[in-house]
Amino acid sequence: MSSFGESSAVKYSSRNTSTSFMMYNKRQLSRIYPSGRRVDSSNYNPVDMWNSGCQIVALNYQTQDVSMDLNDGKFRQNGQAGYILKPRVQREEMSRFDFHDRAMPGLHPKLYTITVISGQALPKPPGGNKHGEVIDPYIVINTFGRPEDQYMFKTRTIQDNGFNPTWNQSFSFVVHAPDYTYVRFKVMDEDWGPNADDFIGQFSAPLESIMPGYRHIHLTCSGNALENTSLFVHVGTMDYIGATPKAGKGTFKTRKNREYPASVSVNFPAIDSIYHGSTPNLRRAVDMREDYTFAYVMFKENCGHGPQAVISDCVQLMAVKAKTANISISLDVIGESQATQVYRVDYSTKTQPPQTLVAMVTSFNHLNKAIQNLLVNGETLATELKKAYKDCCSHHGDLKTHLQETGANSRKINTTMERYGYVTCTLTLQADQLLRCRETAATDLKLIGEAAQKHEIEMKTKM
C-alpha cells in the first residue's frame, strides 16, 4: 500500500495524469490522507479520489461537513455493510478509464428529473431558533462528479411551515457518467438580514443508487438521523439522446450525427482485425439503443408527458383519447414467438381521427418496432461483441511480447496499451449496455400489456 498526501493525490487525479493514476490503482492500494495544513480539521473533496480508483480515502471524522456527508452516503448504498466494489473498468487490467475524457467508451448519459414534492416534520436548526419563529425551509440539490456533471438547484422558500411544506418543483439535468456522480439534498432555513441561513439536515448518496419512482429520503444532521424527518421526492431517469425536434433545443441525434465508437488502431494486426471487423456491430448496437430511446421519448412527448412519466400512463392517455373521439382501438399482438411478441395499435373510423391521436398511435407503433428489434436481435448482437472482446483479450500476452521484442520505449508502450484498453473496454461495455437496454425494453413491453388489459383495450393475436 502507498500513502499519498492530499496535494499529491489532487495532482495525480488531475486531467493530465488521472489515467496513469487509475491504472496504478488497479494493481496497488492507495491511501489518501488530509493535508497537515488543515489545522481546523476540515476535509477535501473525496469524489475525485474515488473516481481515480483510490481505495482508502481518509477524512477527518471529527468534522461532519459536506465531504463526510458524501462519504457516509457512498457507503450507504450497501447498507453500510463494508467494502464497496469499484466499477469494472476500474478493476480490469485491460479496461481503459479516464475520468476527464468525455469520449470515454462506455459512458451512457442519462437525463434525470428530480421532483421535490414535500417535506415531513422538518425540525428547527440545531441549537433551536433564538427568535422562536417557525422555520422557512428551502431545498438545495447538488451533484458531485465530473466537471460537466456538477449542478446546483434550489427550490423556492416556504414561509412559516416546517411541518408539511410543499414545493412540487422539478429539476432536469443530464449526467454523462452516472456511476461516478453523487447527489446531496440539503434543507435550509432562510433568514432575513445579515444572518446566514441555518442548516437543518441533508441526505447524500451515489446518484445511481437512488431508484426511480416516488421515494421518502430520510435526513441526517451531524451524522445522526433526524427522527421522523424526510423529504418526499420523485426521481425519473431515461437514456439521454439530446433534445427532440419538438423541444427545439440541443442536438437531435439522427443516424447521420450519432456518436459511434472511435476507429482506433492498436498497430497489432490480430487485434486491429478483430476490432475493425466489429465496427458494423458496434454501430448497430448504438443504433438499436438510440432508436429505442428516441421512440420512447417521442411517444411520451406526443402523449403530453415529461421524462418522469411511466409508459403505462401514456397507454392510458391514448385509450382515453380514443374513447373521447368515439374511436375503437385494439392492440395487434405480432411476432413469430411469444418471447419476441410486441404490439401494434389498429383502429378503424369513418371520420378523420384527431391529429393528436394519430401522433400517439404512430409513435407507439414506432416504439414497439424498436422494442421488437431489441428483443429479436439484441442478445445475438451482444454475444458477438462479447466474443470479439474475448478474442482481443486472448492476444493480450502476444501484444506485450511484441512490444518487448520490438524494443518499444515506455511512451509507445503506454500509448499502445491505452489504445488496447479502449478497444476491449468499448466492446464489452457496448455489449453490456445493449443487454441492459434490451431488459428495459422487455419491462416496458410488459407494462404496455398490463395497461392495455387494465383499460380494456382489445388485444388480437396476429402472426
Residues 207-222: tens digit of each pLDDT: 999 988 899 999 999 9
Residues 299-310: tens digit of each pLDDT: 988 988 776 677
Higher-confidence residue: 460 or 182? 182
CA dist., res. 202 & res. 140, Å (int): 9
Give the amino acid at 76. R
Q: What ranges do the domains of the chain cover?
A: 2-90, 110-239, 269-462
Q: Say how far residue 53 (Cα) sits from the centre of its chain.
A: 19
pLDDT of 123 > 90? The answer is: yes
Give yes or no for a contact between 165 and 139, defined as CB atoms under 8 angstroms apart: no
User: 3-class DSSP state for residue 302?
Assistant: helix
pLDDT of 338 > 80? The answer is: no
Measured torsion, CA atoms of residues 390, 396, 399, 400, in degrees rounded to the nearest 10: 180
Q: Which three cell numbers stand for residue 459?
A: 388485444
% of the chain with per-residue pLDDT over 90: 48
Q: Which of 447, 441, 412, 413 is nearest to 311 (CA)?
A: 447
Residues 391-443: tens digit of each pLDDT: 999 999 999 899 999 998 988 888 898 889 889 988 998 999 899 899 989 98
Give the amino acid at 404. Q
0.85 exceeded by pTM? no
Q: Report the chain's mean pLDDT, rounded to a whole number.
A: 86
Give the amino acid at 23. M
Q: Which three cell numbers stand for residue 304?
A: 403530453
Give yes or no for a contact between 165 and 158, defined as CB atoms under 8 angstroms apart: yes
Give yes or no for a contact between 23 and 422, defined as CB atoms under 8 angstroms apart: no
Query: With 0-12 CB in 10 A as exposed, 13-18 as middle and 19+ as buried, what is 340?
Result: middle
98: Cα within 13 Å, side-chain hemisphere: 16
**CATH H-level superfamily of 110-239:** C2 domain (2.60.40.150)
Residues 167-208: tens digit of each pLDDT: 999 998 999 889 899 999 999 999 876 677 899 999 999 999
